[in-house]
Amino acid sequence: MVTPCCVIQGRTSLRGDIAISGSKNAALPILAATLLTDQPCVLHNVPELTDVANMLEALRLLGAEVISVGPRSWSICAKDVHTDARNPVVQHLRASVCLLGALLGRKRSASVAMPGGCKLGARPIDLHLRAFHRLGAQVHQPTGYVSLQTDYLTGTVLSMLGPRGPSMTGTSNAVMAAVLAKGTTVIRHASREPEIASLCRMLNQMGARITGLNSGTLIVKGVPFLHGTSFTVPPDRIEAGTFIILGYLRGTPVRVHGLTPQFLTENFQGFFDAIPSARRHSFFHDGAFEVHRIEDLPGLDICTLPYPGFPTDLQPQISVLASQAISASRVRDTVFPQRFAHIPAFRRLGIQAKVEHDTLHLAPHSTLHSGEVTATDLRAGAALYLAGILADGSTTVFRPDYVDRGYEHFEEKLQKLGAELTRLS
Ligand code: EPU
């Protein structure tokens, strides 16, 4: 039996058109939010990912009716749902933590298995639990799951600020628990990541009263009930960023579809600020964002930060680009300071890199060569594919299932651009 892997023949130039799929990190809390109403919600542009399939299954297991109504479109009706989400599907998905806020908001009760997901260092949920407690829930944490219980939720003042910035899924949870509470909830230091604004827009369409979107302070006026709606998931900025980085590495050019100038302005400020030559090598042309290879990339000095800073979810991918710069680079991750489990695999492929505390130091002009490597998480997996495309010879990436969790048809999209790769399973 073959161990599942992807074999990549490197040194290919990439050229052609690809379309960006719906955002994973927007879709997952939005799917959870369908639990907040007993009426059907119809969601479009839902990406085809294993994380999404698991979230749909988690909703089914709670008793929701989940029906495919077209390609990437789902109708979800949570008319009769129970509150016990202690099962292996939930355990394997980080975003399943959002079931807590949605069930608490709608049913005043929730038992949810402790979430799994990518191991990026410490991923506590203390801020989530503190928010539920302040809204009036009794919080218990027996081994392996979280249990929430209350007769009613009351608006209050919350802060979602953790030691390394506001929590993204924590903010989603606080909003979902507050929309049906009595009175007004003020969420200070709310995450400003665009996926939070998408969730709030969908909830407002369902009848919620949330203001302060994108401002860092969300004001949620509780309403008695929410109704169904239809909503289109926005493009995935991390997938887009991954293909843009690939274009800077090998594009002759790569043409990225599905992004608008406004989307790039809102989502890529921190990204373009961090790569000084980016704007000269990528621009809108003929209906697509066209990305050309950067030949003489100056060394990069990247620091990941909450939005609008450079996203941690592009840290491994930008590190591959930085390894090709003409002078040394530094990549610091302040959001997940231990998100460097992929560095041994990088080194095995020839990337000269060393980690000091929360910072990766990269030598210039690394020459990448063939090798066998194992993905350690979703974004690190994508970065290994980029490295494999760059490397001389054949690279084998094990655990490609990590990439399937969060990139829709990644390998097919790469092949469409001319990459030579084969999945063995
Ligand atoms: N934190 C706390 N306490 C908490 C929650 C977070 O101290 O209760 C700290 C964490 O330790 C971390 C920081 O706050 O240092 C950020 O964590 P956050 O809660 O924002 O992360 P998350 O919500 O679990 C989401 C994305 C991640 C992304 C991070 C940061 C989803 C499903 N996941 O995770 O996405 O890296 O925000 O932007 O939305 C990915 O897509 O590959 C991915 C890992």
pLDDT in tens, 9-33: 998 999 999 999 999 999 999 999 9
Angle at 103 between CA 98 and CA 108, to 5 degrees: 135
pLDDT of residue 117 exceeding 80: no
What band does 92 get if pLDDT is binned at 50, 70 and 90? Answer: confident
Residue whose Cα lies nearest atom 39 of ligand 1: it is 25
pLDDT of residue 90 exceeding 80: yes
Mean pLDDT of 222-240: 98
**Calpha distance 56→30 (Å, rounded):** 11
Contact (CB, 8 A) for 398 and 407: no
Residue whose Cα lies nearest atom 6 of ligand 1: it is 167
**Calpha distance 135→181 (Å, rounded):** 8
Q: Is 170 in the pocket of ligand 1 (CB under 6 A)?
A: yes
Give the ligand 1 atom nearest the CA of 98. Answer: 32
Residue whose entry in the numeric block shows the structure tokens 């919080």: 139
Tokens of 243: 């293909």
What band does 261 get if pLDDT is binned at 50, 70 and 90? Answer: very high
Can you give the pLDDT at residue 425? 87
**Burial of residue 320 (number of CB atoms within 10 Å: 0-12, 13-18, 19+):** buried
Question: Got the DSSP string for 253-282?
Answer: EEEEES--HHHHHHH-HHHHHH-TTHHHHE
Can you give the pLDDT at residue 118? 62
pLDDT of residue 7 exceeding 70: yes
Domains of the chain (ranges; CATH) run: 5-21+235-424 (3.65.10.10), 24-232 (3.65.10.10)
Preceding amide of 308 cis, omega within 30: yes
How many angstroms does the Cα of residue 193 sit away from the middle of ligand 1?
Answer: 11
* Helix (H/G/I), strand (E/B), else coil: 410: helix
Residue whose entry in the numeric block shows the structure tokens 């608008």: 260
**Calpha distance 230→73 (Å, rounded):** 10
Mean pLDDT of all residues in the chain?
A: 96
Can you give the pLDDT at residue 143? 86
Q: Is 96 in the pocket of ligand 1 (CB under 6 A)?
A: no
Substitution site in 31, 49, 123 for ligand 1 pocket (most atoms within 8 Å of beta carbon): 123
Q: Is 248 in the pocket of ligand 1 (CB under 6 A)?
A: no
118 is catalytic: yes
Give the ligand 1 atom nearest the CA of 238. Answer: 41
Can you give the pLDDT at residue 159? 97
Can you give the pLDDT at residue 138? 98
**Calpha distance 407→400 (Å, rounded):** 11
Is the pTM higher than 0.95? The answer reads: yes
% pLDDT > 70, the chain: 99
Can you give the pLDDT at residue 253? 97
pLDDT in tens, 367-424: 999 999 999 999 999 999 999 999 999 999 999 999 999 999 999 999 999 999 999 9
**Calpha distance 102→32 (Å, rounded):** 6
Mean pLDDT of 350-375: 97
The catalytic position among 41, 118, 200, 303 is 118
pLDDT of residue 122 exceeding 70: no
Mean pLDDT of 132-145: 95
pLDDT of residue 123 exceeding 90: no
* Helix (H/G/I), strand (E/B), else coil: 139: strand
How many angstroms does the Cα of residue 298 sit away from the middle of ligand 1?
Answer: 30
pLDDT of residue 116 exceeding 80: no
How many angstroms does the Cα of residue 167 sit away from the middle of ligand 1?
Answer: 6
Q: Is 189 in the pocket of ligand 1 (CB under 6 A)?
A: no
Q: Is 167 in the pocket of ligand 1 (CB under 6 A)?
A: yes
Q: Is 338 in the pocket of ligand 1 (CB under 6 A)?
A: no
**Calpha distance 251→78 (Å, rounded):** 45
Residue whose Cα lies nearest atom 37 of ligand 1: it is 168
**Calpha distance 23→12 (Å, rounded):** 28
% pLDDT > 90, the chain: 93
Give the ligand 1 atom nearest the CA of 170. Answer: 19
The closest alpha carbon to 50, from 4, 13, 92, belongs to 92
Residues 6+ apart with CB under 8 A from 335: 164, 165, 304, 305, 306, 312
Mean pLDDT of 200-224: 97
Q: Is 159 in the pocket of ligand 1 (CB under 6 A)?
A: no
Can you give the pLDDT at residue 140? 95
